[in-house]
A = this chain, B = another copy of it.
């Protein structure tokens, strides 16, 4: 079962036979004061730079969020999407909790986007799913409802199932619904990781849907978070997770994802692993050459003195 997202020039396939897809999380003003101030002032320099940097680091899609308090979110989201699509070619995830903003974003987007997100709350389902159906987009369904986030994997599975079935009732095919099983902090909820792995496996085996999650919440409050996130991602991939909205610039997580792709047999001939290794060696050799040149210049200067 493949989820297909497109831009005018690129197609991204998410599914159990494909490499893991990193959706870059950086274009999100939540907790980023400078980015929020710029976007509110209609300055998209950081949006542009963050787009280029994330794609250069390996993000195959970018999440775009314009949630700034008191600002005109629909208008800013539309402009952010326009700007991002003008500088990079990857498909986007349109991220908002405001239905009007999602609608404006869907109208502005060129291609088939992912929409982030809908919960199983009745009001959200009835507002968001018709939009997804009309625009033939794909959507992330989040496994919580009016009762909050259950710690019981079975409850969360039933909530995910409700989203998938309701989407189908609107004519949205199952492959266009990605479920986010919700990673809770393992420092506070001991079995948060184990529950999520079980849930991802059941989503695959019983509902046949793809799964997507944030990949840093799991380590909230603990030291050495990149190492925890790296192990979490590899384990989630082994359980059937297909993509994550995460920081493409974090090297430990990136390496773990590439290694996990090798282990799943999704990196044919280990080509991406070998290519990444060679590129890193090239950078190191470049740095060594630079250091050698600098040392040579210093020696020449000393000799002249």
User: Judging by beta carbons under 8 Å apart, are A263 and B231 in contact?
Assistant: yes
User: Judging by beta carbons under 8 Å apart, are B235 and A186 in contact?
Assistant: no
User: Judging by beta carbons under 8 Å apart, are B235 and A270 in contact?
Assistant: no
Give the one of A192, A194, A238, A277 with max B CB within 10 A: A238
State whether the Cβ of A191 lies closer than 8 Å to any Cβ in chain B.
yes
Determine how many copies of this chain the complex contains: 2
Q: Which residues of A line the B interface, CB within 8 A?
A: 186-187, 190-194, 197, 218, 222-224, 227-228, 230-232, 234-239, 255-256, 259-260, 262-265, 268, 270, 273-274, 277
User: Judging by beta carbons under 8 Å apart, are B222 and A235 in contact?
Assistant: no
CB distance from A294 to the nearest CB of B (A): 24
Check A227/B255 contact, CB under 8 A, given A190-B268, A193-B262, A263-B218.
yes
Q: Which residue of B lies closest to A189 (CB)?
A: B265
Q: From the candidates B232, B259, B263, B270, name the one contacting A263 in the complex (CB within 8 A).
A: B232
User: Judging by beta carbons under 8 Å apart, are B277 and A260 in contact?
Assistant: no
Q: Which residue of B lies closest to A280 (CB)?
A: B224
Check A222/B260 contact, CB under 8 A, given A227-B255, A268-B190.
no
User: Judging by beta carbons under 8 Å apart, are A193 and B264 in contact?
Assistant: yes
Give the one of A186, A231, A255, A274 with max B CB within 10 A: A231
Which 9 residue pairs of A and B lie closest in terms of their CB atoms, listed nearest first? Answer: A193-B263, A231-B259, A235-B238, A191-B265, A234-B234, A231-B234, A223-B277, A190-B265, A238-B238
User: Judging by beta carbons under 8 Å apart, are B277 and A224 in contact?
Assistant: yes
CB distance from A182 to the nearest CB of B (A): 15
User: Judging by beta carbons under 8 Å apart, are B228 and A186 in contact?
Assistant: no
Check A263/B223 contact, CB under 8 A, given A235-B238, A238-B235, A256-B231.
no
Residues of B close to A192: CB separation below 8 A = 265
CB distance from A91 to the nearest CB of B (A): 26
Query: How far is it, in angstroms, between the C-alpha of A231 and the C-alpha of B237 when the chains are bound?
Result: 10
Residues of B close to A231: CB separation below 8 A = 230, 234, 256, 259-260, 262-263
CB distance from A51 to the nearest CB of B (A): 28
Q: Which residue of B lies closest to A269 (CB)?
A: B190
Residues of B close to A265: CB separation below 8 A = 186, 190-194
CB distance from A66 to the nearest CB of B (A): 33
CB distance from A257 to the nearest CB of B (A): 8
Residues of B close to A227: CB separation below 8 A = 255-256, 259
Beyond known contacts A186-B265, A194-B264, A234-B238: 19 more, CB 8 A cutoff: A187-B270, A191-B265, A192-B265, A193-B262, A193-B265, A223-B277, A224-B255, A224-B273, A224-B277, A227-B256, A228-B262, A228-B263, A230-B256, A231-B256, A231-B259, A232-B259, A234-B234, A234-B235, A238-B239
